[in-house]
Amino acid sequence: MAPVSPLDAALDRDDLQQTTPHDFTAAPPGDVLEEFICGWGAAVINITITFPINKAMFRQQLHGIRFKSAVAQLQHEGTRNLYRGFLPPLLQKTSSLAIMFGMYNQYGKFLTNHAPDLPILANQGLASAMAGCTEAVLTPFERVQTLLQDRKHQKRFHNTFHALRVLRYHGYGEYYRGMVPICVRNAGSNVMFFTLRGPLKQALPAPRTFGGHLIADFVSGAVLGAIISTVFFPINVIKTRMQSVVGSEFLTTRRVFAIIFHERHCSWRRMFYGVHVNYSRSLVSWGIINAAYEMLKNLFAERKNR
């Protein structure tokens, strides 16, 4: 029988932990920090690869146009502007995923210590939702990204820091415009992701090699990401509309939905314009995130075993 490498052994242990209910047992401080680092690193890899696709999808959400038209807009604006607005999502997504993975574990351990009789699934769900709401503190990054990606604001805002300064003139509330739909999206998405990714990977053929684990993590993350992003797509449409304006009246989420729904002739199909690009992007994006996160965790495990 071929010897098992320390990395493959670590992979087997991590796979067992991921495919069974998370018990949030106490971990030393270094392990807590690792969750944040792995989430951050996974986001860096992902956002660099998927930014152009995300920008095309954003144009579809905002203007209700087809993918070809969104691509034509980007081509007309030139490659110089292709990565315009890259810094906010880089800062936001790296911070967001660090908070998502790190605080999920922190909240789970907190609930385990203070509500030990809480069922594991309820623990996971509450920890996931709380982590998602915590991510909403990063709303200003999404706010600025929306403004920089909207073509009508290209001459008004020069870069991230300029946009932040301009928003300040309209009050601090402008930084958090669209926070309610972001909380709803984050909390719901996290609950689905953390409660389903283990069982989904467990349903796949059991991997026994490093490459096999990467593929299984990519597939489980990709499938979940596509489903979750599709379910919450209309929430993102509402969020995008709310964050594309500056200085106007703050409308409720329900009111903005009613406006958009009326503009799109009360058609649910039109509320999902851009969903094809969205789930295609999410397939790649969350596949990369999940695989990169698990890979980084396994690298930490390998170092400990040396």
pLDDT of residue 30: 52
Q: Do the beta carbons of residue 81 and residue 55 sit within 8 Å? A: no
DSSP class of residue 27? -
Which amino acid belongs to residue 257?
F
DSSP-assigned states of every residue in 6-44: HHHHHHHHHHHHHHS--------HHHHHHHHHHHHHHHH
More confident residue, 134 or 81: 134
Percent of the chain whose pLDDT exceeds 70: 89
Which amino acid belongs to residue 199?
P
Q: What sign does the CA torsion over 274, 87, 30, 4 have?
A: positive
Q: Do the beta carbons of residue 144 and residue 88 sit within 8 Å? A: yes
Given a cut of 50, whether residue 15 has pLDDT beyond it is no
The rounded distance, in Å, linking the Cα atoms of 145 and 166 is 14
Q: Do the beta carbons of residue 243 and residue 178 sit within 8 Å? A: yes
Q: Do the beta carbons of residue 243 and residue 147 sit within 8 Å? A: yes
**What is the Cα 231 distance to its own chain's centre?**
14
CA distances from 193 to 120, 141, 228 (A): 15, 22, 8
Structure confidence at residue 157 as a pLDDT band (50, 70, 90): confident
pLDDT of residue 18: 45
Q: What is the pLDDT of residues 163-209, one digit of tens each?
A: 989 999 999 999 999 999 999 999 999 999 999 998 999 999 888 88
State both tokens at 102. Answer: 């790190």
